[in-house]
C-alpha cells in the first residue's frame, strides 16, 4: 500500500477535488484541474501513527507590544504603501500584470536600500543576470551594491542566503518560476507555488529578512495565479496601471503591519519609475477645459487628497439595451447614480449609452465620487460645460439626498492649493470647512445641482443631446 495522496488541483483558484472534472466546482473555470501530489509524501489513508504534540507555554494578552521594526526603502511612495517600510521577517507579495513594472520597481527599491548600506539580494527566475544588469544600467543603477542571481531552486536559494550576513531585503522575481524538491509537481502549478512560498516564508521568519515575492496575475489558467499565496503572506501589494498611461498606482490589498487604503503613485519614464509626490497635479495635467461632461472630483486616497477628472459621455443609442461602460469606477455605483437621476431628478437615460471614465488610469473606490459623476453625466447630457474652477465631492443616497463624506477640510485644502475657486459639496459638510479659502456651493438634494447644470445648458444653447421633458 504505497498509494500517494493524489488530488486534482484547480490551477486557477487552488480548489482541490478528489477526481478529475472538466470544470472546477469552486470557481467554474474549465480545463484547469491538474493532478498533483499533496506534497506530504506520506501514504494515503488511515494507519499513519499520530504524532505526539509538544507542549508550549501560553502567554497573557497584557504584555509589552513593540512596534514592528521597520526598514524604510527610501522610496517615499513605496514606504507610504507598506506603512513606513519593510518589516523585519515579513513577506510581501507584489502582484500585477506582466510588463506593468514590478521588476523595475523592485530593482529600484533594492538599489535604494543598498545605497543606505543594507544588504539587498535580487533573485530572478525569469531573466539572466546579464539582463537584470542591463536594466539596472538603463536605470542608472549600474553601480548599486545589489547582489544578483538567476536561480529557481528554493533549496539552493535558502542555502545561499543563510550564509554570511542576513540580507535585509530579498526579492524573488517571480514566485511562479520557483520550485522546491519537497513537492512533486511542475513549476508554476499551484502546489509548487504554494510549496515554494511556504519555504521562503519560513526562511523570512527564521532569518528576519524581509522577502518580496513577485506574482504575475494572468487571466488564463495556464500559470497558477498567486491567489493561493495571498493568505500566506503578511502583505499583498498590487501594482496597477492602464497600459496606455504612464501612471502606475501601488496599492496595498492586505497589510498585517499597516494601512490598506494608501496608494503610491509612480510615473514610468525612460529612466524607470519616478515617484509622484503630488498626484493631483499629474492627474489634472491633461485637462480638457471647457468641454461638457467633465467634473473634477476631490477625492481622498488613504490620508492623501487626490484630485482627479471624471469624464462622462451620454449619447442617444439605437440599441435595445443601452451600453453602460465604466473605467476606473464601480459599475454598480454608476447604475445607482443613474437610477437616482431617473427617480428623483427626472432624467431618464434609458435611451442613451453612458460612458464614464476616471482620467489618468486611477481607480476610485470612494462613494464620495457620486456627486462628481452625477455632475459629469448631467453636464454631458445637457451639453453644458461645468465651471473649470470647481471641484465636486459628496455621496448620493438612494433618496436623492447628498450625504456628507469624511475629510471635507482636506479635500478643500487640496483644491485651493491647486487653484480651484469653488467647491460643490454636501450641505452637511459646510460646517467642517471653517476657513475654506474658496467659494462653497452646498447641495442638499441632488435635484438642486442637476437643475442648475441643466439651466446652464439651456442658457448656452445646449443642443440635441438634451432630454426632452417626457416625464409627467
The least CB distance from residue 145 to Mg ion, in Å, is 21
Helix (H) or strand (E) holding 129: helix 129-138
Cell of 279: 498626484
The least CB distance from residue 135 to Mg ion, in Å, is 9
Among 14, 83, 95, 272, binds ligand TYD (CB under 6 A): 272
CB 232 within 8 A of CB 198: yes
Of 24 and 78, nearer to Mg ion (C-beta) is 78
Q: What is the radius of gyration, based on Cα positions, of the chain?
A: 27
The least CB distance from residue 227 to ligand TYD, in Å, is 18
The least CB distance from residue 450 to ligand TYD, in Å, is 43
Q: What is the CB neighbour count within 10 angstroms for residue 367?
A: 16
How far, in Å, CA of 86 to CA of 166, rounded?
15
Which residues inside 5-24 make contact with ligand TYD, applying CB under 6 A?
A: none
226 binds ligand TYD (CB under 6 A): no
Binding residues for ligand TYD, total number by CB under 6 A: 15
Q: Where does residue 257 fall: left (phi above 0), alpha (psi -120 to 50 degrees), or beta otherwise? A: alpha
Of 271 and 455, nearer to ligand TYD (C-beta) is 271
How far, in Å, CA of 245 to CA of 243, rounded?
6
The least CB distance from residue 201 to ligand TYD, in Å, is 21
The least CB distance from residue 213 to ligand TYD, in Å, is 13
104 binds Mg ion (CB under 5 A): no
Of 103 and 196, nearer to Mg ion (C-beta) is 103
The least CB distance from residue 309 to Mg ion, in Å, is 31
Tell me the pairing of strands 120-124 and 147-150.
parallel
Among 16, 150, 158, 268, binds ligand TYD (CB under 6 A): 268
Return the range that interacts with Mg ion (CB under 5 A); candidates 96-104, 270-278, 439-447, 464-472: 96-104
Alpha-carbon distances, residue 241 vs 120, 254, 266, 278, 420 (angstroms): 27, 19, 10, 17, 27
Cell of 97: 500584470
Which one of Mg ion, ligand TYD, none interacts with residue 255, CB within 5 to 8 A by kind?
none
Which residues inside 221-280 make contact with Mg ion, applying CB under 5 A?
A: none
How far, in Å, CA of 189 to CA of 34, rounded?
8
Return the range that interacts with Mg ion (CB under 5 A); candidates 47-55, 103-111, 294-302, 411-419: 103-111
- Residues 125-154, one symbol each (x = binds ligand TYD by CB under 6 A, - = not), give ----------x--xx---------------
Among 46, 270, 320, 472, binds ligand TYD (CB under 6 A): 270
The least CB distance from residue 250 to ligand TYD, in Å, is 12
How far, in Å, CA of 377 to CA of 383, rounded?
10
Binding residues for Mg ion, total number by CB under 5 A: 1
What SS3 state is found at 38?
A: coil
Which residues inside 66-125 make contact with ligand TYD, applying CB under 6 A?
A: 96, 98-104
Among 128, 253, 271, 325, binds ligand TYD (CB under 6 A): 271
Q: What is the CB neighbour count within 10 angstroms for residue 261?
A: 15
Comparing C-alpha atoms, which of 388, 383, 370 is closest to residue 332?
370
Of 109 and 424, nearer to ligand TYD (C-beta) is 109
What SS3 state is found at 426?
A: strand
How far, in Å, CA of 37 to CA of 118, rounded?
39
User: What is the full DSSP assignment across 314-363?
Assistant: EEE--SSS--EEEESS-HHHHHHHHHHHHHHH----TTEEEEEEEGGG--
Closest-approach residue to Mg ion (CB): 103
Which one of Mg ion, ligand TYD, none interacts with residue 96, CB within 5 to 8 A by kind?
ligand TYD
The least CB distance from residue 136 to Mg ion, in Å, is 13
CB 414 within 8 A of CB 278: no
Q: How many CA atoms lie within 13 A of 137 on its CB side?
A: 6
103 binds Mg ion (CB under 5 A): yes
How far, in Å, CA of 36 to CA of 11, rounded?
10
Binding site for Mg ion (CB under 5 A): 103
Binding site for ligand TYD (CB under 6 A): 96, 98-104, 135, 138-139, 268, 270-272
Amino acid at each position: 500500500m504505497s498509494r500517494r495522496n493524489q488530488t486534482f488541483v484547480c490551477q486557477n483558484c487552488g480548489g482541490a477535488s478528489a477526481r478529475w472534472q472538466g470544470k472546477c466546482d469552486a470557481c467554474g473555470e474549465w480545463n484547469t484541474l491538474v493532478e498533483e501530489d499533496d506534497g506530504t509524501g506520506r501514504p494515503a489513508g488511515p494507519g499513519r501513527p499520530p504524532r505526539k504534540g509538544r507542549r508550549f507555554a501560553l502567554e497573557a494578552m497584557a504584555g509589552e507590544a513593540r512596534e514592528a521594526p521597520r526598514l524604510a526603502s527610501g522610496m517615499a511612495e513605496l514606504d507610504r504603501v507598506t506603512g513606513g517600510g519593510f518589516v523585519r521577517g515579513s513577506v510581501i507579495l507584489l502582484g500585477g500584470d506582466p510588463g506593468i513594472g514590478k521588476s523595475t520597481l523592485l530593482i529600484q527599491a533594492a538599489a535604494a536600500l543598498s545605497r543606505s548600506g543594507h544588504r539587498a539580494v535580487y533573485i530572478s527566475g525569469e531573466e539572466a543576470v546579464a539582463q537584470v544588469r542591463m536594466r539596472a544600467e538603463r536605470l542608472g543603477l549600474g553601480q548599486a551594491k545589489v547582489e544578483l542571481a538567476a536561480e529557481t531552486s528554493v533549496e539552493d536559494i535558502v542555502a545561499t542566503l543563510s550564509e554570511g550576513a542576513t540580507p535585509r531585503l530579498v526579492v524573488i522575481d517571480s514566485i511562479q518560476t520557483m520550485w522546491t524538491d519537497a513537492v512533486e509537481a511542475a513549476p508554476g502549478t499551484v502546489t509548487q507555488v504554494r510549496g515554494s512560498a511556504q519555504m521562503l516564508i519560513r526562511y523570512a521568519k527564521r532569518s528576519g529578512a524581509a522577502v518580496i515575492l513577485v506574482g504575475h496575475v494572468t487571466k488564463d489558467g495556464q500559470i497558477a495565479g498567486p491567489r493561493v499565496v495571498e493568505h500566506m503572506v503578511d502583505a499583498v501589494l498590487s501594482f496597477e496601471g492602464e497600459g496606455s498611461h504612464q501612471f502606475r498606482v501601488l496599492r496595498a490589498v492586505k497589510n498585517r503591519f499597516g494601512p490598506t487604503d494608501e496608494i503610491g503613485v509612480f510615473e514610468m519614464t525612460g529612466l524607470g519609475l519616478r515617484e509622484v509626490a503630488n498626484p493631483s497635479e499629474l492627474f489634472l495635467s491633461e485637462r480638457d477645459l471647457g468641454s461638457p461632461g467633465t467634473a473634477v472630483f476631490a477625492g481622498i486616497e488613504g490620508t492623501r487628497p487626490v484630485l482627479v477628472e471624471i469624464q462622462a459621455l451620454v449619447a442617444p443609442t439605437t440599441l435595445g439595451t443601452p451600453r453602460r461602460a465604466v473605467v476606473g469606477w464601480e459599475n454598480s455605483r454608476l447604475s445607482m447614480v443613474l437610477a437616482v437621476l431617473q427617480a428623483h431628478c427626472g432624467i431618464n437615460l434609458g435611451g442613451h449609452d453612458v460612458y464614464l471614465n476616471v482620467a489618468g488610469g486611477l481607480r476610485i473606490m470612494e462613494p464620495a465620487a457620486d456627486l462628481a459623476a452625477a455632475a459629469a453625466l448631467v453636464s454631458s447630457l445637457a451639453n453644458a460645460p461645468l465651471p473649470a474652477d470647481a471641484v465636486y465631492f459628496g455621496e448620493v443616497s438612494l433618496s436623492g439626498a447628498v450625504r456628507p463624506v469624511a475629510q471635507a477640510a482636506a479635500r478643500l485644502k487640496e483644491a485651493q492649493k491647486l487653484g480651484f475657486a469653488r467647491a460643490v459639496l454636501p450641505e452637511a459638510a459646510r460646517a467642517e470647512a471653517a476657513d475654506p479659502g474658496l467659494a462653497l456651493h452646498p447641495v442638499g438634494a441632488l435635484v438642486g445641482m442637476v437643475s442648475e447644470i441643466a439651466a446652464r445648458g439651456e442658457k448656452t444653447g445646449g443642443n440635441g443631446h438634451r432630454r426632452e421633458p417626457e416625464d409627467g
